[in-house]
Chain A
Amino acid sequence: MFTSIKVGFYLALKDLSRASKLTTLLIIFIMTLTFLNLTVGRGILVGLPKGSTNVYDERYSGDLIISKLRKDQFVVDFPKIENFYSSLEGIQFISKRYLHPATLTAGYEQRLRETEVYDATGTVVVGIDLQAEDKVTNLSKHIVEGEYLDNKDTRGVMIGANLLFRYSPLDSPTESNIKNLKVGDKVKLTINDKDYFYFLRGVVKSKVSEVDRRVYLPIDEYKRVSGEKDFKPEEISFKLVPGFVPADIKNKFYEQGLHKLAKIQTAEESQPQFLKDIGTTFDILGNFLGGIGIVVASVTVFIVVFVNAITRRKYIGILKAIGITSLAIEISYIIQAVFYALTGSIIGMLILYLSFVPYFAQNPINFPFADGILYAPFFDSLSRLGVLVFSSVLSGFIPARIVVNQKTLDAILGR
């Protein structure tokens, strides 16, 4: 047994070192493609919902988000919650958001007749500390027109891109987006039936619908126009100090019973259900693709080893004639198969992590609700490498066995 393994190794090493370089390279190339097929296709699929999660927590929810209960108008017991988190360790930045329904109207001056429909849309006006918001959600990085609003600006407004028809062509009997509005234009914001006028300073497009359908005012201006007596936020987003786990921080709120006063969610939990569903679906699809990839890989190895063994049928016969055990010969083919699979996968790994992953991180695939990344965690890829090597053992063994089991004499004489 041990001797057979040793001889198998010996024969495999000699075969590999003296095989045609071109053939070897070709087989390794195929195995590299197979490995990439296993990781990249799935990685892009799964990377899409992952990318949307990233977009969601980087641009809207932060690591943790506290929002009002459904029955309330805002976070009713906000002082109690604020009291708690201001002494909590692990929180880096906080943005409080105050929300109020509003109507945004553009081109109101151009309306010629009383009956003509206004270029208007329903929205939510948000009062934020723009500086604080930027620290939590990097909102200023997602300005597509004009510029980021300044806290001291009392005559300016910033809007989400999805309020504009050119970004989101919505035009139904009940709701339509604004058709004619550009940076610098004057807009009318109607809050509690009162009109306020602002200049459009910037348009933000973050791919998160919550962000892209809102109108933003600096917090002081919001306080002036919202007319709220009880001034409390509806949402508070937190960015944690790197290293702190959102779920742990969330639990601290729970331990204090604060979840009875407001909804406390990690970024993942706060995602809209459709994103979670897409994530699950793509995960299944990705695994399905991966499964096909494994089958393709196994068949590839099978064919490579089978062709290799069948063309050497005579030499296998000779080996058996001079007393080399079937096991030793089978092992020599398995080792060659493993060598191809392993080398191919390692090269694939290098390509994956040195080229593909960084490339997609730099140039995400542009989806409407996400920036598609290539999701390929190292241990995932490592396990795929393991699966590939394991399947190459099996699919190397079977054809080797078929050929080795043929009659020795027939093999030598080529009958």
Chain B
Amino acid sequence: MIIVKNLVKKFTNGETTLVANNNLSFEVETGEFLSIIGRSGSGKSTLLYQLGLLDHPTSGKILIDNVDVTNLYADRRTEYRLNNLGYVFQDYALLPTLTSLENVSVPLLMRGFSISDAYKKGRKALDKIGLSKKYDNLPSMLSGGEQQRVSIARAIVNEPKILFADEPTANLDSETSKLVLDSFTELNQNGQTIIMVTHEKEYAAIGDRTLELKDGNIVRFTKN
């Protein structure tokens, strides 16, 4: 379970201060699929980065499974991300010098798996999202949808507590988007906690609940 308490994120630029997340408090259940929507600039990404331990809040608290993760040291955060969190970025964020299989296997190697064990698990993760024929392709030889699915495979390969996705379909056509969203649905059905940012109401609807942001404030938090 994720508990967010009075989360504030301010950006100060000289004289002006921008409140990107204004005193947010909410909870996400384990196994839940949460969609975050809102217009561009409403503070969705900012919130996700803090939940994903990629950024520090200005004030407030984040607890994951009753552990306060708000102010971990950099090295502990990296370790926590490795063991507990998975990310899918809008632009896929694959490593260009690594093949699909290698991209997926790197987090496993970091967890101490041997190369052959890592590759075995990596192949399974790629199989799961329908990329069994593309193990050895470099990202440059994959379509956008395929790249995004490799990035999903990489995000789930360590069986994270939470899978974060920031507008994972923004660069994809609607057909490919469907495919990617289907993977999320399937993962969630198998118990994966997911927090996904999107600005399409239609896509948000596949989640269990939708949290809507406007100018850094929660304006709606509803069941789908």
Binding site for B on A (CB under 8 A): 3-4, 6-7, 10-11, 14-15, 18-19, 314-315, 318-326, 328, 408-409, 412
Contact = CB atoms under 8 A, between A and B. Distances in A.
Interface in B102-143: 102, 106-107, 109-112, 115, 138
23 contacts: A3-B111, A4-B110, A7-B109, A10-B106, A14-B98, A19-B97, A314-B93, A318-B93, A319-B95, A321-B81, A322-B81, A322-B82, A323-B79, A323-B82, A323-B107, A324-B82, A324-B110, A325-B79, A326-B75, A326-B78, A409-B49, A412-B54, A412-B93
Contacts of A10: 106, 109, 115
B159 interface: no
Contacts of B78: 320, 323-326
A98 to B, nearest CB: 78
A167 B200 CA distance: 95
A319 B112 CA distance: 16
A6 B154 CA distance: 19
Contacts of B98: 14
A108 B198 CA distance: 112
Contacts of B112: 3
B110 A328 contact: yes
A412 B89 contact: yes
Contacts of A319: 95, 106
For this complex, into which size category does the number of interface residues on chain B fall?
20 to 34
A7 B49 contact: no
Contacts of A11: 106
B33 interface: no
Contacts of B75: 325-326
A4 B55 CA distance: 23
A325 to B, nearest CB: 6
Contacts of A18: 97, 138
A321 B93 contact: yes
Interface in B138-182: 138, 154-155, 158
B97 A409 contact: no
B138 to A, nearest CB: 7
Contact of A322 (B55, B115, B154): B154
Chain A to chain B: the 7 pairs with minimum beta-carbon distance, closest first: A323-B82, A18-B97, A323-B81, A318-B93, A409-B54, A3-B112, A7-B109
Contacts of B109: 3, 6-7, 10
Interface of B: 49, 54-55, 75, 78-79, 81-83, 85, 87, 89, 93-98, 102, 106-107, 109-112, 115, 138, 154-155, 158
A14 B94 CA distance: 14
B97 A14 contact: yes
A258 B55 CA distance: 86
* Interface of chain A, main secondary structure: helix
A257 to B, nearest CB: 73
A10 B112 CA distance: 13
Given A6-B109, A323-B107, A318 B138 contact: no
Contacts of B79: 323, 325
A92 B215 CA distance: 99
A321 B54 contact: yes
A263 B107 CA distance: 76
B213 to A, nearest CB: 19
Contacts of A3: 109-112
A310 B158 CA distance: 29
A22 to B, nearest CB: 16
Contacts of A314: 93
A320 to B, nearest CB: 6
Contacts of B93: 314, 318, 321, 412
A318 B93 CA distance: 7
Contacts of B96: 315
A322 B87 contact: yes
Given A318-B93, A321-B81, 14 more contacts: A3-B110, A3-B112, A7-B106, A18-B138, A314-B93, A319-B106, A322-B82, A322-B155, A323-B110, A324-B82, A324-B107, A324-B110, A325-B110, A328-B110
A411 B114 CA distance: 29
Contacts of B83: 323
Contacts of A318: 93-95
A321 B95 contact: no
A319 to B, nearest CB: 7
A7 B112 CA distance: 9
Interface centre among A4, A10, A14, A323 (most CB of B within 10 A): A323
A409 B138 CA distance: 24
Contacts of A412: 54, 89, 93
Nearest to A327: B75
A79 to B, nearest CB: 81
Contacts of A325: 75, 78-79, 110
A321 B81 CA distance: 7
Contacts of B106: 7, 10-11, 319, 322, 324
Contact of B110 (A7, A14, A408): A7
A10 B110 CA distance: 10
B97 A15 contact: yes
A328 B78 CA distance: 12
Nearest to B115: A10
A10 B85 CA distance: 22
A48 to B, nearest CB: 48
Nearest to B93: A318
Nearest to A4: B110
Contact of A408 (B54, B82, B102, B111): B54
Contacts of B89: 412
A14 B82 contact: no
A313 to B, nearest CB: 13
